[in-house]
Amino acid sequence: MAKQEKEQESLVSLRRNLGDNLHLGALYKYRVNDFDETIERLPELKLSLYQQPVFDSGLYMDLQAAAANLRRRSADGTSDTPRHGRLDLYNGWSYPLDWLSPYLEVRPWTFARYTGYEKVLDPSRDFTDRTAFGSGVTVSQQWSKTFPATGGGALSELFGVDSFKHLVVPEVSYLNVFSSDLSPGETFGIDEVDSFDVTQRVSLSLRQALVSRFNREDGGQMERPLLGRRNVALKQSSFRRHHLLDSEVSLVFYPQGERDNGGEDLSLLFLDHTLRASESLSLRSWIALDPNDGFSDERMDNSIRAEVVPGLFSATLGNVNAKAVGAGEDSNFVYGLLSLYPQEKWRAQFYYARNIQSEKDSEVSFTLGRVFHRYALFFEYSFDAGEDDNQTFSINFRPVGFAGSGMESWSRW
């Protein structure tokens, strides 16, 4: 829930939905401040086709194509990369095994990826390309049980609801990139495209939700999709659902950890829990534990959000505690986020963070936003005491769907 800390950027980004599953995007980004480390994209174009049925064969196809002119600019100028072009193509195929449903949801898939580089680290090589192949499978299941709360029972008296529904969704996903003919060490290492390499991993996750239900006297509302699934029902329900608890625990196992994960077999264990005690009060806890070090806590972000005046004013108070990376120091700071929305089209936010260890202010910012139908305009002033008292003023004009940017209360749009 905390405001995301990142450097100021100057960019122009356009996105066009050409269909339900076909998207076209364009990005032009360049460095503003000489002291920032930035990846310039001058420009980058992307075309994405998701889960396209292949006639009536049962196959689904994913296609992604990206062409970019890139350059990495370092803070001191000593490790700048030359500007170079890059073409990245990804083609994936999946075949859901419906005959195992509803007992198991099984989706095997395979993919091929091609990346062409105008330049690589070796200056004697002009055009260099990479071809990679991989495959995997995702297996999941969903269990649910409804607990009636009628007849004046304890649940009904405590929460004022008719029933509770508990949903449990375990999922296992296996990925094996078994072939790639260009090492990431031969590229400039700009981003995740360059770092793509042979790997093998098993991703485990367990999602849970506790949903309460009670009758409505106002004719009902559209039901909210459960656990991120698309809701295709068009009819309004005669009852209201409230997601009392959403929880997810995830972990990645690396069969060849020495090669793929710096010598460790397990990734960090992530726990993300959100408790919505009422329509106006919610609590969130995001924790990262290291199972390779006795499950020591690497980062914790705990916060509480309250609608002080429903529909007008909300407040978020949180604390972040993170271990140092490399030679840095551990960080521990508290933050507050005040949101004011006096009218449907206007929003204002004030963010404040203070470092508990140094007993100094870390960041203060103020944001004002205005919605214009499908787009939103933001003005933000920020004073960053943690970065040599830098002061910045930024202007953002973006589609409403991208208005969140890590600041939870903008999602009302």
Q: Is 201 in contact with 136 (CB distance < 8 Å)?
A: no
Question: What average pLDDT is seen over the chain?
Answer: 85
Over range 177-190, report the average pLDDT. Answer: 96
- Residue 402, pLDDT > 70, answer no
How confident is residue 1, by pLDDT bands cut at 50, 70 and 90? very low
Each domain of the chain, given as residue ranges in start order, spans 306-413
Name every residue whose Cβ is closer than 8 Å to that of residue 124 and which is 6 or more positions away in sequence: none
Over range 269-278, report the average pLDDT. Answer: 94
pLDDT of residue 369: 93
User: What is the distance of C-alpha 246 from the center of its chain?
Assistant: 16
For residues 167 and 165, what is the distance between their CA atoms, to the nearest angstrom? 6
Tens digits of per-residue pLDDT, 123-179?
999 899 999 999 999 999 999 998 877 655 565 666 567 788 899 999 999 999 999
Q: Which range has the worst mean pLDDT, 76-80, 107-111, 291-295, 301-305?
A: 76-80
375, 380, 384, 387: CA torsion to nearest 10: 50
For residues 111 and 134, what is the distance between their CA atoms, to the nearest angstrom? 5
Q: Is 375 in contact with 365 (CB distance < 8 Å)?
A: no
pTM of the model: 0.81
Tens digits of per-residue pLDDT, 206-255?
999 998 877 655 444 444 444 444 444 444 555 677 888 999 999 999 99
Backbone angles phi, psi at 293, to 5 degrees: -130, 50
Tokens representing residue 175 in the block? 């990925």
